[in-house]
Each structure stands twice: as C-alpha cells, then as structure tokens.
Amino acid sequence: MKLKTAICGISILLLLDISSLSIAQGKPEKERIRIGYAARAVVHSIPYLTKEAGFFREEGIQVEVVRTAGNVAPMTLVSGDVEFSIMSAFLLLPAAVQYRDLIILTGFTRYASMYMVSRPEISTANDLRGKIIGLQRPGDAYEKNARFALRHLGLDPDKDVKFLYVGSNEVMWTALESRRISATMLTPPSTLFARKAGMKFLVNLSELQVEYQGSSLTSRRSFMKDNPNTTLRVVRAMVRGIHFFKTRREETFRILAKFFGTNDREALEESWNYASDVPTKPYASESAVQAVVNHLAERDPRFAQHKPAEFIDSTTLAEIDRSGFIDRLYGTK
C-alpha cells in the first residue's frame, strides 16, 4: 500500500514537472512593459501613481510610464511602442475600427466632467453670444463637451458662438488668460488658476450626469491573449492604485506633485477633488461608450453600425472582481 502511494506521489510530481516544462517552453509573458497616457490630467495619472506607490513592482512587473500625447496615443498601441495606454474612448474608437486589435479594459470616467469657464466680464449666457470659445481640435471630446455646456445654457453652438481651435488643453488656459478667447473647457489644475484670476465658472458638466466614456485603460487583444497573467497583474495593480488615490490622500498629493510638476497645495487638492469619484470597480460602461459612438457617427455615419461591446473586454477586471480582491481592499468583504 505504501509503495502504491509512493508511486502515485512520484507520478503527480512528474506530471507537475512536465506541466512546468511545457509552460517554460511556451512563449514567456512580458515582465517589462510600457504604459502610455494621452494627457497630463489627473485621471491619467493613475499608472504613474501606481508605479510610484510600488504596486507594479509588487506584482513582479517593471513598468515605464510615458506620455503619448493626443492623437498619437492609439498609434503607439498599434505599433507596439506601449502595451497599455490611458486615453479617452473618443481617441481609441476610430483606431479600433481600423485596427480591430485595440480594446478598452477599464473605464475611469463615465461622465463628461469638464468645466466651461469664461472671462470675468461674461456674467450670463447671453453675454457669450457672438463670442469665441477656445477648444483643442475640431470634433474632439472638448468640442462635444462644449456643445453640451452651451445647450445647457440655452445657446445654439452653431449659431450663437464661434469656435477657435488652439491645439492643446494647456494652450486653452493661456488663450483665455490672454483674452484671445472668451470661454473654454478646463480641467484641474487649470481650474484653480482660473478661479484665482476671477474667471466665471458657467457650467460644471459633472453635475449634468451626461454619459461619455472618458479616460480608459486600453490595450491590444493580441497582447492580452499572449500575456494573460501579465494583463491580470497590471489591472490588479491599477485597481490598487485607485484605492491608494482614494484612501491615502497626503501620499497621493506627493506623487501628483511630481506628475504635474507643481507643489501648489491648492492645485493638488483641486485635482484630487476632481477625480476622487473614480470608481472602485472601474468597468467601462456600454452606454457611455455608445455616447462616444453616437458622437463619432455625427461626422461619419459608418460608426453607427458599431456596438459598444465590440470595443470593451472587461474579462480581466471581472476575474479580479469575482475573486473578492476589490471588496477586500475596501473592507466590504
């Protein structure tokens, strides 16, 4: 009987050795990765914060966080220059239609959340009539949000105002400050500078609860297929990064100071407050992605044939969620 048990034990060990050997002989998963972010915005800081807090390292991954500004962001995914990237669904979807490999894994912002800010002399919506609104690029998410805000004020974006495209969100604040434009869309920390300069805050889009999938963690289907464990560890680390952001405020301020290149306490608080409602379970929303599809279809009707589910793969986040990991982080399980 003992001999039979010993033989069974040896057989199990041999099977384990063969299994380990087959894994070793397969394609190894990547342990060095790059994560891009499309804008120096507070929600886009999550990968940087996650790295600085040491969570990627604890997951056994070496991560480099790099700026991949604006329209360049999707192409860095396509080219393989980065394995993951934080960008808006508005940036990703046109590239994902062309390159079916691109996918949204998680969503950090479900609602439009910018502020429409005007010069001090603009006291009412009527004062905006005939004035110039500064934006980034024609047809982008900033313009869409501006149109939401203008309609909320009872103005017709196509008749009552003019748009001036200045190229980047950093330039929009300087254009407002220098009187080149009368109003624009801002996010922190520029909102703090605007408040100190006496600018008027006309619309807070987050109060309107307008669905529009903003900052999202994106990757390639092929990378996820070849590197499922690495993908899981990256998403799990980011979930920990969100928890750190929400619960360890002072340490988060120190990291944000490096990310933004400022030690201005008010600017850091402004940025933190703006993003403090980032979801603990950052699932991308199909209805919010549908809003982006609808927006893109306004200029190119071919987008209307696409469904949100084509662009979302929440399986990795769902696996982490089902394990109870996120609930345990927040002490709810």
The per-residue pLDDT of the chain, averaged, comes to 89
For 179: left if phi > 0, alpha if psi spans -120 to 50, otherwise beta; the answer is left
Closest-CA residue to 248 (of 112, 52, 19): 52
E strand map for 50-153: 62-67, 84-88, 102-107, 115-118, 132-135
pLDDT at residue number 15: 33
Identify the CATH number of the domain defined by range 32-111+212-329. Answer: 3.40.190.10
pLDDT at residue number 3: 38
pLDDT digits (tens, 9 = 90+) for 142-159: 898 999 999 999 999 999
Task: Fill in the amino acid letter for 243.
Answer: H
Q: Select the more confidently predicted residue: 333 or 184.
A: 184
Model confidence band, residue 41 (pLDDT cutoffs 50, 70, 90): confident
pLDDT digits (tens, 9 = 90+) for 236-247: 999 999 999 999
Identify the CATH number of the domain defined by range 125-205. Answer: 3.40.190.10
Q: Select the more confidently predicted residue: 1 or 233.
A: 233
pLDDT digits (tens, 9 = 90+) for 250-309: 999 999 999 999 899 999 999 999 999 999 999 999 999 999 999 999 989 999 999 999
Asked if the domains 32-111+212-329 and 125-205 are classified in one and the same CATH topology, the answer is: yes
CA atoms within 13 A on the CB side of 260: 26
pLDDT at residue number 333: 64
In sequence order, what are the beta bridge partners of 216? 87, 107
Model confidence band, residue 26 (pLDDT cutoffs 50, 70, 90): low
pLDDT at residue number 11: 37
Across the range 89-117, mean pLDDT stands at 95
Length of the chain in terms of residues written: 333
Model confidence band, residue 92 (pLDDT cutoffs 50, 70, 90): very high
pLDDT digits (tens, 9 = 90+) for 156-166: 999 999 999 98
pLDDT at residue number 140: 83
pTM score of the predicted model: 0.84
pLDDT at residue number 82: 97
Rg (CA), the chain: 23
Domains of the chain, by residue range, sit at 32-111+212-329, 125-205
